[in-house]
Structure formats: C-alpha cells, structure tokens
Amino acid sequence: MSTVPSYFKDFLSNIRLSDNQVNDLKTGHTTLRKRLEEDETLSKIIISTFLQGSYRRSTAVKPKNGNKSDVDVIVVTKLDSEEYTPEEALNLFVPFLEKHYKDKYRIQGRSIGISLSYVDLDIVPTSAPSESETGVLQDEAIISEYTIEDFQQKLLTKSFSNALLESTYNIFCRSDSQPQWKSEPLLIPDREAEKWDKTHPLEQIRWTVEKNKNCNTHYINVVKALKWWRKTQYPDMKHPKSYPLEHFIGDCCPDDIKSVAEGVVLTLENIVSQYTNKPFLADRGVPEHDVFARITDEEYSDFYDTVCDAAKIAREAFDCEELYDSVCKWRELFGNEFPPAPKPSKSNSSTGFTTRTEKSAAIPEGRFA
C-alpha cells in the first residue's frame, strides 16, 4: 500500500522543472554567458558571471499557463559605482543585446530581461567588487552551474563524484563560525531609485544549503510545495511571491523536520501564530534590507488570511488516520498535481490507515508550533 510520503514524492516530481525545461535553461544561460565573455566590448569589463535565483537554489517549480522557465545570471563587472549611474551601466549592454537578442530584451528596474521562445533570462549586472572578493567570484565552484539539488543527496554523506562538485558544496557549506572566504554584498543598479543597491546572492545560496542540511534535505521541497500552493490556489494574489515568499518560508520552517509534510504544516502554523502583522524580513547578507518592503499591510493581510485557511487544511491532512482522507486533504491544499488515492472499499477499509510515520512525536495534534 502506498503511504503519504510516496504521494509527496510523486507530487514533488510532478511540480518540479522537467528535464526538457532544465535543458532549455542550461542552453539559454550557457549561450548567454558565452556570448558575454566573447563580446569584444563587454568582455573587457566583465570579471565573471554566475547563476543565482530559484533555479540555482533548487526551489523553482514548473511554470503554468504558458509561462516559461527563467534563470538569473549575475554579471560581475569592473564598473565603478561612483563613475557610472545605474542607467549608464545598464545601457552599456544595449549594443550587445541589439546584436544577439534584438526585439527580445527589455531594460528593467534592476536588471535586463530577455524573453526567448523557450526560456526567460535575467541579466543582473554588478559594479566592481573589492579586490579580496574578485578571486572568490572567479572561483570555478561559484561560476559552475551546479544547483543545490545537484548535491542534495551528498549533504549528509559528503561523497562526491567529481572534484568541482565537491568544491561547489564546500564553498556554500562553510560555517559562520569558521569562515573560509570573505564574502561581501554586491552592488546592482537600481534604475528607478537612481542608486546602486546591495544584494548578496552568494549568501542566499549558502544560507539555503545550510538550511536544507539542517532540515534533513527536506527544506527545498517544502519551499517548492508551498510555492506551488501559492501559485495554483491564489494566482491573482499580488504578493508575496518568488523570493520574498521563499525567504519567509525559510524563516518559518523549523530545523530537523522529518518530512516535507511536517515542514509544510509547521511552516504554515508558525506564520499563523507568530506573524499576524507584516514582519520586517532581514535579507540574507544585507540585514538592513527588508525583503517585504514592497508589500503593503493590506496585501500581507490578504496573504495571512490564505495561510490561516491553508494551515487548517494541512493540519487536518497531517493528522488524518486514514490514508484516503489524508490524501484528499492534501489534494485540497495542493491541487490535482498531488496524486489521488484509491477509495477504500468496505471490505478493505480496515487497511486504509497510515502508520503515522509521517508524524513527529514532538508535534501535538492540532497545536500551533
């Protein structure tokens, strides 16, 4: 008999990026990065390029309604933020874009969007880093395309098939108490605010790796599950989405969860019990930044109401003794990508119960954690 964990495994398989989508992303970002490095003008000011965003952190879910997968490319430049305005910095890329992506790009507030038939790309330029940071940003592990999921199964065993994969893991798993590299925020151009603003994508990646490890590798799947809930159940709700939602999940998901189901329940319940009002979410590596700064109190209130409803459904699903009832509740929360369970017949209804291996003894039933 299938158990709830096996249903979650199938659900996560259903909502993740497909192999074809991943290949499209790789084709898109590899071609873009190669063109940037070979460009006669831009190559002279580019120090390195590396991937960031939900694809790199392995928290992306498959797109819906004809949307395309997307990937963010950080372009570390030699530009002095004192000499170039954000507008001027972004405009330096226009001749390159006209040559390779004519009629497919748009200059955005803090990046350049490129929309191809099979993938969306985001170029995020930065100003010149400090000399001590330059070496780090040119490290093969940083500029590799390895994602957290690529070494998720290696997190606990630390057995790697190649040196670069191991190096990538080590770069992002250095503990705060024993820093082996001095990492600083980068400055990216904010055209609308007319200033260079701090961001720290490497710390976001490192934090996610550490959190995933502390959650027994379930964390990134909790994020995917709740992103899917948000995307499918409330598609018209404006905020939070994307990284702000992921960051909030990270703050609310407890360490040492034993399953994705447990992580989903406790994350939702922690939001309900601890964040009635819109919180200040200090950005990873840039603590003065509020990740929720662009979300209004009213938008947060609407989101909070949806979480209250979701928390009740998730708790009922988690506490269900009978497999069929539990799966029905999870489908109510996550939609049809969560696989259905066969309805038990009267003759075998006595076998339709879960073993409660999904539960943690530390979680009292019906109580907010």
Question: Could you identify the residue written with the tokens 């969860």?
Answer: 257
* Cis peptide bond upstream of 240, omega within 30: yes
CA-based torsion, 173, 177, 180, 186: positive or negative? positive
Q: Indicate which residue of 24, 72, 120, 283 is catalytic.
A: 72
Helix (H, G, I), strand (E, B) or coil at 201: helix
What are the phi and psi torsion angles at 199 (to 5°)? -150, 155
Give 199's DSSP letter: E
Q: Indicate which residue of 70, 120, 283, 325 is catalytic.
A: 70
Burial of 67 (0-12, 13-18, 19+ CB in 10 A): exposed
Q: Indicate which residue of 24, 120, 122, 283 is catalytic.
A: 122
- Confirm whether 256 is a catalytic residue: no
- Confirm whether 10 is a catalytic residue: no
Q: Which residues contact 362 (CB under 8 A, 6 or more apart)?
A: none
Give 319's DSSP letter: H
- Retrieve residue 210's tokens: 């550490």
Both ends of the chain: CA-CA distance in Å? 30
Contact at 8 Å (CB) between 215 and 262? no
Contact at 8 Å (CB) between 217 and 224? no
Contact at 8 Å (CB) between 95 and 45? no
- Retrieve residue 314's tokens: 């998730």
Q: To which H or E segment does residue 47 belong?
A: strand 46-52
- Confirm whether 305 is a catalytic residue: no
Give 104's DSSP letter: S
Contact at 8 Å (CB) between 214 and 320? no
Buried b (16+ CB within 10 A) or exposed e, 199-238: bbbbbbbbbbbbbbbbbebbbbbbbbbbbbbbbbeeeeee
What are the phi and psi torsion angles at 109 (to 5°)? -60, -45
Active site residues: 70, 72, 122
